[in-house]
Structure 1
Amino acid sequence: MPFLPLRLQPGVDLRRALEAALANQPCEAGFVVSGIGSLGQARLRLAGATDVLELDGALEILTLAGSVAVNGSHLHASLADAQGRVLGGHLGYGCRVRTTAEVLLALLPDWHFSREPDAATGHDELTLHRCQAPAG
């Protein structure tokens, strides 16, 4: 399994940068192995909520995990504010790197991830597809 270490610069949208990094690789699926750094803006959807919580100010990324795909990622983060309070949830678009973000992606070249409706949950859920090996 190949790995892709990333260091993201200030102002970059964290989620978009991860999806773009994957799109530049010869694969369509990956997982965040580790992620730390800081954000100046964050957009989190908390458990069971439909609205997005918008946070501004210095935030530390304590954890970052999830699947990254060319057609739909699912990322979770836990963030600490300047007083040490921690919030976590689904990471949305619009999370801007403050000073740096250091992320390690595991690339899965034999897999394709998609999001498809799941009758049991009522949500679009991860569907795993193993890519066919080339004949030869």
Structure 2
Amino acid sequence: MSSSGSTLKVHAVRFGPGQELLGSLQAFVEQLHLEAPFVITCVGSVTKATLRLANASTTNTNEVLHLSGRYEIVSLVGTLNPDAHLHISLSDSMGQTIGGHVLGDLEVFTTAEVVIGEAVNLRFSREMDERTGFPELVVQSDSESNRT
């Protein structure tokens, strides 16, 4: 385990009806050249979502859930580096909640109000981890990245 400290910069953005949330977040991060962005909080609603369920492999499509309907975003967390790693919890009209790894297709229904944190002086990337079989987070400080 390793960790790095950083100062925090905060950005707030609102996305509207019909926008695809994951792509819009990635475009926002790219536009501002954020190198270590993460979601602090998000509230809003979606009409579609594509999620990979817990313990799912990257190749088994039976473990991918395609949702359609009206859902409240009750939680959205994760990092927003170019290979974003986000998990979401959504609740339906009965208050039942489902969640998983965001694959995309998050179509905003009314709004998505997102507060994004930026770990200043850090850089997020992803590298394949043979132990997990997934690309996992790598955190570098500016001083480390200047040495490489």
TM-score w.r.t. length of structure 1: 0.91
The superposition leaves residues 31-84 of structure 1 with CA deviations (integer Å, 9 ceiling, x where unpaired) of 100011000101111101243200001000000110011x21100110001121
Structure 1 residue aligned with 2:85? 74
Of Structure 1 and Structure 2, the greater helix share is in: 2
Tell me the CA shift for residue 16 of structure 1. 0.8
Query: Match of 2:70?
Result: 58
Secondary structure of the 2:29 match is: helix
Which residue of the partner structure matches residue 25 of structure 1? Answer: 32
Q: Give yes or no for the alignment of 1:120 onto 2:127.
A: no
Q: State whether residues 62 and 79 of structure 1, in contact with CA within 8 Å, keep that contact through their aligned partners in structure 2.
A: yes
Is the partner of 2:27 in helix, strand or coil? Answer: helix
Amino acid at match of 1:36: V
How far did residue 26 of structure 1 move? 3.6
- In structure 1, list runs of 5 or more residues that go unmatched: none
1:93-112 correspondence to structure 2 within 5 Å:
93-112=104-123
Higher mean C-alpha deviation, range 10-19 or range 105-114: 105-114
CA contact (8 A) 1:27 1:110 kept: no
Distance, in Å, in 2 between the alignment partners of 1:117 and 1:68 is 17
Q: Does structure 2 conserve the Cα–Cα contact (< 8 Å) formed by 1:34 and 1:64?
A: yes
Q: 2:100, 2:76 → 1: CA distance?
A: 10
Q: SS at the partner of 2:80? A: strand
Contact 1:22 1:29 in 2 (8 A): no
- Aligned-pair Cα RMSD in Å: 1.5
Q: Does 1:34 align with 2:46?
A: no
Q: Partners in 2 of 1:9 and 1:19 — Cα distance?
A: 15
**How far has the Cα of 1:28 moved from its partner?**
1.6
The alignment covers a number of residue pairs equal to 133
Which residue identity does 2:121 align to in structure 1? D
Match of 2:142 in 1: 131
> Percent identity of the aligned residues?
38
Matches within 5 A, 1:78-93: 78-93=89-104
Question: With structure 2 as the length reference, what TM-score do the two structures score?
Answer: 0.84
> Which structure 2 segments of 5+ residues have no match?
1-7
